[in-house]
Structure 1
Amino acid sequence: MSNAHASGLDRTLHNLKNGFLQGVLRGCHRGLLSTHDYSKLMVCETLDDVKTLLCSTDYRALIQDLPSPLHSSTIVSTCTQKMVNDFNIFRSQAGEPLGAFLDFLTYGYMIDNVVLVVTGVLHERGVHELLQKCHPLGSFDSMASIAVANNMRELYRMVIVDTPLAPYFSQCSNQEDLDELNVEIMRNILYKAYLHDFMKFCEGVGGVTATSMMDILGFEADKRAITITVNSLGTELSRNDRGSLFPELGSLYPDGHRDLVSCNDFVQVQATMEMYLSYEGFGTGLIQTNDKPLEKIFSEEKMKKCQSAFKEQFNLASFYAYMKMREQELRNLMWITECIAQDQKHRISDGLINVMND
């Protein structure tokens, strides 16, 4: 069978399996807030004004009955349900491999939820309060048991063992106590294993999905390697331990990883980034010689990659991209509403990330 014929067959099968959901996805994508929507949000004087504006968007059905007085957290948690509802529609009607692909999207939220609850318990926060802060797409039945786990082994046995995260936990489940350093190490070990597993799955899917996800997940791996390096400077984490946490994919792997392991300060990290990465502004953002902190530059680049995923047809990566774009939109809403609530409207533009390239 010729490559062209095989490609045509793959596209036909993709349309048969996922054509309807791709149409639903494109409709959801068009419902993301536009640049014009953001310009109107930026001149809102009160949270009630924000509610009124959002009632003219895809959030209308969720937010129209919210009572006053409004709070930033209430608005954002209510709008988050839009993201959850969309995901549930995709997942309930997905065949394979889309169903398994969508399941992978939830694993990152599970990791974040575990870390959030463990860290909150370490700071003596109430479990009920912490569970309310967890992302709904990463919830699972045994999360409340985190409060009684005293070390990594107990965390695995009481919480993780019956979740999809269990295979990723093998390097964490030792006798070490649950303290902030070990929890952060656990987060990075879990994410490393997760990214490797997700990429392996996407390579099995092949085609445009594999190519797009290699770009997106490779970028995520680069981001994590740089962030781990910056956060570990001046700490007790050894160079070897630092390197063991880097996901083994992305533009920095493997040569850039060796250089990052050897870095002793921000300037050396900046030099490594400029040597291996083509992302404009990353090096200067690291030491903040311009107006953009590194995290904002990362977020802007990620949105560009998500936007690119929608330029290709027959591509499961567009489902990942949409969820991440909606997630960033919710962060934008939190920033905007907090600035309004705290009478800091002049700072709104500082924290906004462009989601839609419109």
Structure 2
Amino acid sequence: MEGLFFNATDGYIEGIVRGYKNNLLTNANYSNLTQCETLEDLKLQLSPFYGDYLANVPSPISTSIIAAKTTEKLINEFRYIRAQSTGALAKFLNYITYAYMIDNVALLITGTLHERDTRELLDRCHPLGWFEAMPVLCVATNVEELYNSVLVETPLAPYFKDNLSSADLDDLNIEIIRNTLYKSYLEDFYEFCTTDPAMKDTSTAEIMSDILAFEADRRAINITLNSFGTELSKQDRRKLYPSFGRLYPEGTFMLSKADDIEGVRAAVEGVVEYKTFFEQGGFGPGGMMGGQQPKSLEDLFYHKEMEIAKMAFTQQFTYAIAFAWVKLREQVFFFQDRIMTT
């Protein structure tokens, strides 16, 4: 029944997003990018997809300009579909931007802590996560001030208020803030997709529950691995795990008790994909498996994320393709960073 009236309200946006998806770089394009020896070669390969944005860029071109222009296209396209959206779809698109807001908050307060230039920090913030009070973040000195002077008027306020403390801002507390906000954000987004009357029992709920569960599991695993050798206690680490996902609750409980990589590997044994990731990443009993160089765990998670995003487009009448499209568009930024630093 959901498809009966979907096109009347949201069919136009779905058509636009599918059109955007058809303009993404193909495997052949990425293969050509790996052969680029200069930034001019890179610009030439990207021109069919970003021609209007790269056409008038003066030489010599820089990596920052390429990144800015490719990001600009994503921002313009996303803002267009959000401007045309109403109701549940508009709210869904807003949820996508909250993740970028969290990253911007963490970037600004971390940069300020290390006395980085404010203008440079603001320039590095992702436009999808921009909000008016962002420049004020640079003067916050503790968590309460950060909330009361800045975040209380933003969509992040509900995620922050429940976890408010009076701690000073240092590197560890900033990472705790970031992961606490992400935990609350993912739980809220998951609840919206699966329980909201407009979303419940729809293909959007089905696809997004899988996407968000994967993201929750990835964050739980990464938080555990990154906590080894730090001052973060096991009890505090457990508070940062989202309360859903394929690992929840048994797997996340085991993660909270893990002391090393072997403990993490044991915690993910019940999920075949994650178990395979650790074997391919060189963490399994077989090490490098046949003498081959293992892929990093980050790369394995990234490839799985792209696979899930591509699969979202196999279904119709779903908001999930907007989320998947943004993730697939980010692939070019990820790829640019890799080839520009090699």
How far is 1:171 from its partner? 3.7
Q: Is the contact between residue 216 and residue 305 of structure 1 (CA under 8 Å) also seen in structure 2?
A: yes
Question: Matches of 1:33 and 1:44 in 2, distance apart?
Answer: 15
* 1:298 and 2:298 matched: no
How far is 1:89 from its partner? 1.1
Indicate which of 97, 112, 118 corresponds to 2:109. 118
How far is 1:286 from its partner? 6.6
Indicate which of 50, 53, 68 corresponds to 2:45. 53
Question: Matches of 2:282 and 2:145 in 1, distance apart?
Answer: 38
Aligned twin of 1:259 = 254
The letter of the residue matching 1:97 is: A
TM-score of the aligned structures, taking structure 1 as reference length? 0.89
Indicate which of 23, 26, 34 corresponds to 1:34. 26
The ranges of structure 1 where at least 4 consecutive aligned residues each deviate by more than 6 angstroms after the TM superposition are none
* 1:63 and 2:54 matched: yes
Residue identity (%): 44
Question: Matches of 1:45 and 1:329 in 2, distance apart?
Answer: 17
Task: Give the count of matched residue pairs.
Answer: 330
Indicate which of 321, 324, 327 corresponds to 2:324. 321
Q: Is the contact between residue 270 and residue 286 of structure 1 (CA under 8 Å) also seen in structure 2?
A: no
The letter of the residue matching 1:148 is: V
Question: Matches of 1:155 and 1:257 in 2, distance apart?
Answer: 30
Aligned twin of 1:191 = 182
Question: Matches of 1:159 and 1:172 in 2, distance apart?
Answer: 16
Question: Matches of 2:239 and 2:253 in 1, distance apart?
Answer: 11
Matched position secondary structure for 1:267: helix
Aligned twin of 1:237 = 232
Mapping of 1:338-353 within 5 angstroms? 338-339=341-342
Q: Which runs of 5+ in 2 are unaligned?
A: none
* 1:177 and 2:180 matched: no
Aligned twin of 2:64 = 73
Aligned twin of 1:355 = none
How far is 1:260 from its partner? 0.6
Indicate which of 8, 14, 17 corresponds to 1:25. 17
Aligned twin of 2:242 = 247
Question: Matches of 1:282 and 1:44 in 2, distance apart?
Answer: 30
How far is 1:155 from its partner? 0.3
Residues 312-357 of structure 1, C-alpha deviations (whole Å, 9 max, x = no match): 1011111000001101221112222333xxxxxxxxxxxxxxxxxx
Q: Which runs of 5+ in 1 are unaligned?
A: 1-6, 340-358
TM-score of the aligned structures, taking structure 2 as reference length? 0.93
Aligned twin of 2:3 = 11
Matched position secondary structure for 2:36: coil
Question: Matches of 1:83 and 1:159 in 2, distance apart?
Answer: 27
Residues 188-227 of structure 1, C-alpha deviations (whole Å, 9 max, x = no match): 1100110111111111212110010000000000001001
The letter of the residue matching 1:331 is: F
How far is 1:275 from its partner? 2.9
Question: Matches of 2:295 and 2:35 in 1, distance apart?
Answer: 23
Q: CA RMSD in A?
A: 1.3
Indicate which of 336, 340, 353 corresponds to 2:339. 336
Q: Is the contact between residue 7 and residue 317 of structure 2 (CA under 8 Å) also seen in structure 1?
A: yes
How far is 1:277 from its partner? 4.3
Q: Is the contact between residue 144 and residue 164 of structure 2 (CA under 8 Å) also seen in structure 1?
A: yes
Q: Is the contact between residue 143 and residue 165 of structure 2 (CA under 8 Å) also seen in structure 1?
A: yes
Q: Is the contact between residue 73 and residue 334 of structure 1 (CA under 8 Å) also seen in structure 2?
A: no
Change (3 A) 1:326 1:305: same
Mean CA deviation greater in 77-86 or 270-279: 270-279
Residues 293-319 of structure 1, C-alpha deviations (whole Å, 9 max, x = no match): 111111000011101110110111110
Indicate which of 61, 82, 90 corresponds to 2:73. 82
